[in-house]
Structure 1
Amino acid sequence: MTHRAKAAAAGNVVVLGAGTAGTMLVNRLRRRLDDSWTISVVDRDDAHAYQPGFLFVPFGGPTDALVRSRHAFVHDGVELMLDEVDRVDPAARQVLLTGGRALPYDYLVVATGSTPRPDATPGMLGPQWRRTIFDFYTLEGAKALAEALKKFRGGRLVVHVTDLPIKCPVAPLEFAFLADDHLRRRGLRDDTELVYVTPLDGAFTKPIASGRLGSMLTDRGITVEPDFLVEEIRDTTLVSYDGREVPFDLLVTVPLHMGADLVTRSGLGDELGFVPVDRHTLQSKADPRIFAVGDASDIPTSKAGSVAHFSVEILVENLADLIEGRPMSHSFDGHANCFVESGDRKALLLDFNYDTEPLPGTFPAPYVGPMSLLKETRANHAGKLAFRWVYWNVLLPGRPLPLASAMSMVGKQTPEKEVHHARHDS
């Protein structure tokens, strides 16, 4: 929609966090709401990172332009405040900054994301950190890992996921595939044992995708250690709660992810600091004037940029409904899609929501695609690389994309269709 919500009286929306979800939200809100409404967004610094780019850094990918100024992507009609938030006072409808200033709000949106917490696992931040234990979910970690891989000459390389949820849950799989490809190109694959350690019972959370991705791990000779919940890292060994041990020469770990501390201090979060919300409206279960979007919420789908994009579109319209005095009329279906880099300049594409798991087929159009679902293609790899431009130039500024926020079954093959096609082909 391009029309603006007309407010009966002036008001204000405050957004906490100017990351992917927060920036998209304020830019879309500014276009959607009447000018009598002020929109403010608060973040602690002026550094906006393109996090999908971190995955490629350990393998020689570029580091330039991965971090840019937040000011460059926030609409002129939005107030961007660089400050630390102490806590939210829902009773007073105020955001309290660490310097003592109070920001009143009519509606508050928490978009503070999620943060890797290596300090939460005993031994992870010990003497082996950035020596034999690395992460790639931060730019600093990805750069350090790049140097470690340059020096790596073989041994046991373990890719490890501490627990879910995490940002971009397919990224650890992508790293394993890219590591396999990288080592083959360097002539080190036969000298390296690759192990994928996961708390899941398979490669992914959904059966069809898990089967496909699991077979890809097997085909590449990558050993999977499932149902592994790490208790501690003891020197150069992962130790699980059930006593299993996985030694390593080089560990690439995805630490536990948690929400912002301010969410916990404000009494708005669960045990991990994520905001419990209605999964369709994104409205806080604790306060009807508070919402959470992006990685900051506890909705049961991927913490991924696509989820932020699709859910922001829903949230903008629901906020406009409330401001105009109507009940919320839009519902988020959990739509997510993501490319999965698989090495050799190929990638898969997953498209799913709360009720439908990733299925094979073509995207966005039937038969012609041009993207293939659950299938390795160079077109998918090109799509992932092209997304960086789309991110900076279309998504963040809040410009429309020709993709519906709700997932479509067009082009997808259900298990029944797959059986029918198999019989027909035979």
Structure 2
Amino acid sequence: MRRLVILGGGTAGTIVANKLRRRLDAAQWQVTVVDRDDAHAYQPGFLFLPFGAYRPDDLVKPRRRHLHRGVDLVIEEIDRIDAAANTVHLADGTVLPYDYLVIATGTQPRPDQTPGMLGPLWRKSIFDFYTLDGATALAEALAGFDGGRFVVHIVDMPIKCPVAPLEFAFLADAYFRHRGIRDRVEMVYATPLTGAFTKPIASTLLGSMLDDRKIAVEADFLVERIDPDRKTLVSYDEREIGFDQLVTVPLNMGADFVARSGLGDELNHVPVDKHTLQAKGHANIFALGDANDIPTSKAGSVAHFAAEVFTANFLQLIDGRPMTGAFDGHANCFVESGNGKALLIDFNYDTEPLPGTYPIPTAGPFRLLEETRPNHWGKLAFRWLYWNALLPGRRLPLPAHLSMAGKHQPNISKE
């Protein structure tokens, strides 16, 4: 019996377990997923929870329900991987041998890494929305916020869903306008990037959208600490941003067991070949989803598209053949812009987001780099697709690799 062990039962881990369980001979392969709990969260929904669009119960379901029959689920904390011995050691002393290992434990916000963030203002004047608890607490705080300086802040990159802070700023602007208090709210967007986004064309457009909404951008802002007594963000270059309410995206880091296993970089992300997702120096270990260090967005779409390539490659590998698939970093993300509209961006390692139509070049129905209502409806509809098509590992009618069909170069200057 050959053993495939998948660490992490989130998006990437669940998709891969389900896809491979259908393709591997059950008499010859044991597929095991390990996670610390049986609660699978639809993380894109955290963005909407503070604004009352969802309740916590709408976003969390049992992991077991979404794993195919024949996939074993082990609920336990992971202590470490012994790559030399091909074993995973769990916190309760259990040792799981493997022939092949997939690390899909994601990346998590670490507010403990920024001095002052977890002080007396945490969940009182300082909030996050990348966790269920944080988004729930923020919903109550937003309802009671009546004016002042409202700061949306990113500690550093990379983060999961890098457009989410922008989306939050746009939604907060619309929320305050709906409540009739926008004129009493000074909004600031503080980012470590040189602009609103990592890619020039999208950054120009998104930056102009912030300007239109009178949201001030504080670029190249690398926070050194938070002074809770003065309610102030302090950067390494000694710039300061005061706040009445701060919504922050803490430093994102991979799982601690990755560091204990000697498999991670300084952020506990696993260095991999960016095309095969194979861990560097370990032919039988792969890292998928947010757990690896590939230079593209840490987003659910990346987990989906990469899983398509990985699955085909894995079947070649275990059959003794070369892996011929090459993941191109394909990512697409809906960007909520408020008032029932959204943008869509579609890009990969080599091609930045461009205007056009998606997925059908001549018909869409989605418009790239353009605010439309169908884009917003697409974002909302994705929740159903996530639970009923993506996680079960069903093949979606979307190419895993970026297509240039329907895209065109814009007139926007990159300067």
Q: Tell me, yes or no, if the aligned pair for 1:41 and 1:78 is still in contact at 8 Å.
A: yes
Aligned counterpart in structure 2 of residue 366 of structure 1, from 355, 361, 368: 361
2:312: which partner in 1? 317
Q: Deviations over 1:151-206 (max 9, x none)?
A: 11110000000000111000000000000000000011011100000000000000
Cα deviation digits, residues 39-85 of structure 1 (max 9, x gap): 11100100000000010111112112201000000011111111111
How far 1:286 sits from its partner (Å)? 2.5
Amino acid at match of 2:393: G
Deviations along 1:242-273, one digit per CA (max 9) or x if unpaired, are 00000000000000000000100000000000
Which of 240, 244, 248 does residue 253 from structure 1 map onto?
248
Query: Residue in 1 aligned with 2:43?
Result: 51
- The C-alpha deviation readout for 1:62-114, integer Å capped at 9, x for no partner, is 11220100000001111111111110001110011112111111110000000
Match of 2:53 in 1: 61
The residue number in structure 1 matching 2:279 is 284
Matched letter for residue 319 of structure 1: F
Aligned to 1:195: 188
1:88 to 81, 86, 99: 81
Contact 1:130/1:145 (<8 A) preserved: yes
Contact 1:18 1:41 in 2 (8 A): yes
Structure 1 moving runs of 4+ over 2 Å: none
How far does the alpha carbon of each residue in 1:200-227 deviate from its partner, in whole angstroms, 9 at most, with x for none? 0000000000000000000010000000
The match for 1:385 is: 380
**1:29 equivalenced with 2:20 (yes/no):** yes
Match of 1:348 in 2: 343
CA distance in 2 between counterparts of 1:336 and 1:389 reads 19
Q: Does 1:375 align with 2:370?
A: yes
Q: 2:115 maps to which residue?
A: 122
Q: In 1, distance between residues paired with 2:99 and 2:326? A: 22
Q: Name the aligned partner's letter for residue 332 of structure 1.
A: F
CA deviation vs aligned residue, 1:98-149 (integer Å, no higher than 9, x gap): 1211111111000000010000000000000011000000111111111111
SS in structure 2 opposite 1:195? strand
CA distance in 2, matches of 1:34, 1:330: 22
- Contact 1:158-1:197 at 8 Å conserved across structures: yes
Task: Give the alignment of 1:24-173 within 5 angstroms.
Answer: 24-35=15-26, 36-63=28-55, 64-173=57-166
SS state at 1:142 partner: helix
* Count of aligned residue pairs for this structure pair: 408
Cα distance in 1 for partners of 2:177, 2:94 equals 56
1:17 and 2:11 matched: no
Residue segments in structure 2 that go unaligned for 5+ positions in a row: none
Distance 1:108 1:400 in 2: 23
CA distances 1:323-345 after superposition (whole Å, capped 9, x unpaired): 10101111100000000000010
Amino acid at match of 2:205: R
SS in 2 for 1:169: coil
**Is the Cα–Cα contact under 8 Å of residues 32 and 316 in structure 1 kept in the other structure?**
no
Amino acid at match of 1:211: T
The normalised TM-score by structure 2 is 0.97
- What is the distance in 1 between the residues matched to 2:24 and 2:326? 19
Asked whether the equivalents of residues 40 and 79 of structure 1 are also in contact (C-alpha less than 8 Å), the reply is yes
Residue matched to 1:299: 294
Unaligned runs of 5+ in 1: 1-9, 420-426
- Structure 1 Cα separation of the partners of residues 214 and 92 of structure 2: 54
Cα deviation for residue 319 of structure 1 reads 1.0
Task: Provide the secondary structure at the position in 2 that maps to 1:279.
Answer: coil
Separation in 2 of the partners of 1:230 and 1:119?
A: 13
- Distance in 2, matches of 1:234 and 1:184, equals 30
Whole-angstrom CA distance in 2 between matches of 1:53 and 1:98: 31
Give the root-mean-square deviation of aligned CA atoms: 0.9
Equivalent residue in structure 2 for 1:244, among 239, 246, 259: 239
> Does the residue aligned with 2:401 lie in a helix, a strand or coil?
coil
Matched, 1:274 2:269: yes
Mapped partners of 1:293, 1:395: distance in 2: 15
| Structure 1 Cα separation of the partners of residues 10 and 68 of structure 2 | 14
1:229 and 2:219 correspond: no
DSSP 3-state at the match of 2:48: helix
Q: Which amino acid aligns with 2:7?
A: L
Q: Secondary structure at the match of 1:163?
A: coil
Q: In the alignment, what sits opposite 1:423?
A: none
